[in-house]
Chains A and B, each alone.
Chain A
């Protein structure tokens, strides 16, 4: 048997503080089985996680969820993160944020707040998030974040229902004074995979949005930076997911499950819990974290592929979701014999006539029904 590959330290820690969320976005990256998660970690549990991860070398920290603002101890966690030397990012919908909290988080040492928007229009926002007031509130909070002196990163998750608003999205973000704008197409995991046929933009929509983005960049070379992420289904090679399994990224789920990627809960592996083991043991020794490290686990055509060191065979969760076997090549790759599944989804997206009425919203009860139906 080949020896285990050398283990590099986790540099990025994603702390998913809770699965609770006031919104119900149908492209949420949380697992569809979120209602089966155990009780949330305590403040002291999180302190321990932060200390152990920092000791191993983690420097970037994301507080995410669900909606992390529903945790009343968020300021305490931010302060501990600052004390330890993390660069901390709050990834929020902005719902539950107030000007006071923007200030108290800044005082606690938070480095950055990323607000995600559904669209530039309160009707579409309501359709997607289930909340009418959310949009106006987000605008106010974006302004509060800016005036508190944080770097401002706005994030719009793109899909067929909002991608044609790309000009308005860029203009609104620019008017709000964003330093960075992420125009990130939904990636089809979790809830987004359930709603894929409803969300996937057409090739034409995508081309137009990319063209608009490029034109804006050329016209404003020293201004707001735009990041455009296409749905990987439209690529011919898979993304280097997480830069390799358990190579630099560590996610801790609300109930303490340690995961090499925030979608990995869907995989049939036994993931360790930070309540039972310390981060070093989890990262270095657990079978789940070693399952897809290096290249020995690969099947053909990945195993002998000259590109395997660039894309690491793509995304394990996507391979599992589409083929039922997580060690298969990511079916996005045109060298995969399962690519036809991705092409079929694209064909559906390009002759689409369904309506948003058939979307499956991310709610606790929807998650419970999904869990019940798979048992």
Chain B
């Protein structure tokens, strides 16, 4: 379970970058690249090492009020990102 007051931070060995040619965000790491889907890229672009999970949920809910499942989508993604070591929580 992801604690809503925890602060996700991108693993310093990864770089998040928008790639025009692929029309998506990618995560770059030693000799590898993960192509992120639209929502994963968007959520990760809000991870700045300052905002809590709850802050990110609030900001994205405000931006996309029509999406019902946004909080659970974000929590689910954070769990995946943590398992993949893309982000760590403090």
Residues of A in contact with B (beta carbons under 8 Å apart): 9, 11, 56-57, 59-60, 62, 85, 87, 89, 111-112, 114, 149, 151, 153, 179-180
**Residues from chain B with Cβ under 8 Å of A114 in the complex:** 30-31
Q: How far is the CA of A151 from the CA of B19 in the complex (A)?
A: 22
Taking the complex as formed, is B65 at the interface, i.e. its CB lies under 8 A from any CB of chain A?
no
Q: How far is the CA of A5 from the CA of B26 in the complex (A)?
A: 25
**Residues from chain B with Cβ under 8 Å of A180 in the complex:** 30
**Residues from chain A with Cβ under 8 Å of B26 in the complex:** 59
Q: How far is the CA of A153 from the CA of B31 in the complex (A)?
A: 10
Do A151 and B33 have beta carbons less than 8 Å apart?
Answer: no
Do B19 and A59 have beta carbons less than 8 Å apart?
Answer: yes
Taking the complex as formed, is B1 at the interface, i.e. its CB lies under 8 A from any CB of chain A?
no
**Residues from chain A with Cβ under 8 Å of B32 in the complex:** 60
Residues of B in contact with A (beta carbons under 8 Å apart): 12-13, 15, 17, 19-22, 26, 28-33
Do B17 and A151 have beta carbons less than 8 Å apart?
Answer: no
Do B13 and A59 have beta carbons less than 8 Å apart?
Answer: no
- In the complex with contacts A57-B21, A59-B17, A11-B31 CB distance below 8 A: no
Do B21 and A9 have beta carbons less than 8 Å apart?
Answer: yes
Q: How far is the CA of A56 from the CA of B33 in the complex (A)?
A: 16
Do A62 and B22 have beta carbons less than 8 Å apart?
Answer: no
Q: How far is the CB of A156 from chain B (nearest CB, A)?
A: 15
**Residues from chain A with Cβ under 8 Å of B33 in the complex:** 11, 59-60, 87
Q: How far is the CB of A65 from chain B (nearest CB, A)?
A: 16
Q: Add 7 more A-B contacts to A89-B30, A114-B30, A153-B30 (CB < 8 A).
A: A11-B33, A57-B19, A57-B22, A59-B33, A111-B30, A153-B31, A179-B30
Q: How far is the CB of B89 from chain A (nearest CB, A)?
A: 14
**Residues from chain A with Cβ under 8 Å of B17 in the complex:** 59, 85, 87
**Residues from chain B with Cβ under 8 Å of A9 in the complex:** 21-22
**Residues from chain B with Cβ under 8 Å of A89 in the complex:** 30-31
- In the complex with contacts A87-B15, A151-B13, A56-B21 CB distance below 8 A: yes
Q: How far is the CA of A111 from the CA of B15 in the complex (A)?
A: 9
**Residues from chain B with Cβ under 8 Å of A153 in the complex:** 30-31
Q: How far is the CB of B48 from chain A (nearest CB, A)?
A: 19
Q: Tell which of B17, B22, B29, B33 has the most Cβ of chain A within 10 Å.
A: B29
Do A112 and B31 have beta carbons less than 8 Å apart?
Answer: yes
Do A151 and B29 have beta carbons less than 8 Å apart?
Answer: yes
- In the complex with contacts A9-B21, A57-B21, A179-B31 CB distance below 8 A: no
Q: Which residue of A lies closest to B28 (CB)?
A: A87
Q: How far is the CA of A88 from the CA of B15 in the complex (A)?
A: 11
Q: How far is the CA of A9 from the CA of B19 in the complex (A)?
A: 12
Q: How far is the CA of A68 from the CA of B87 in the complex (A)?
A: 32
- In the complex with contacts A57-B22, A87-B33, A179-B13 CB distance below 8 A: yes
- Those 10 A-B pairs whose CB atoms lie nearest each other, nearest first: A57-B21, A87-B28, A151-B13, A112-B30, A153-B30, A151-B30, A9-B21, A89-B31, A60-B33, A59-B19
**Residues from chain B with Cβ under 8 Å of A62 in the complex:** 31
Q: Tell which of A56, A60, A62, A87 has the most Cβ of chain B within 10 Å.
A: A87
A-B contact pairs, 30 of them (CB 8 A): A9-B21, A9-B22, A11-B22, A56-B21, A57-B20, A57-B21, A57-B22, A59-B17, A59-B19, A59-B22, A59-B33, A60-B31, A85-B17, A87-B17, A87-B29, A87-B33, A89-B31, A111-B15, A111-B28, A111-B30, A112-B29, A112-B30, A112-B31, A114-B30, A114-B31, A151-B13, A153-B30, A153-B31, A179-B13, A179-B30
Q: How far is the CB of B36 from chain A (nearest CB, A)?
A: 13
**Residues from chain B with Cβ under 8 Å of A59 in the complex:** 17, 19, 22, 26, 28, 33
Q: How far is the CB of B16 from chain A (nearest CB, A)?
A: 11
Q: Which residue of B lies closest to A151 (CB)?
A: B13
Do B21 and A60 have beta carbons less than 8 Å apart?
Answer: no
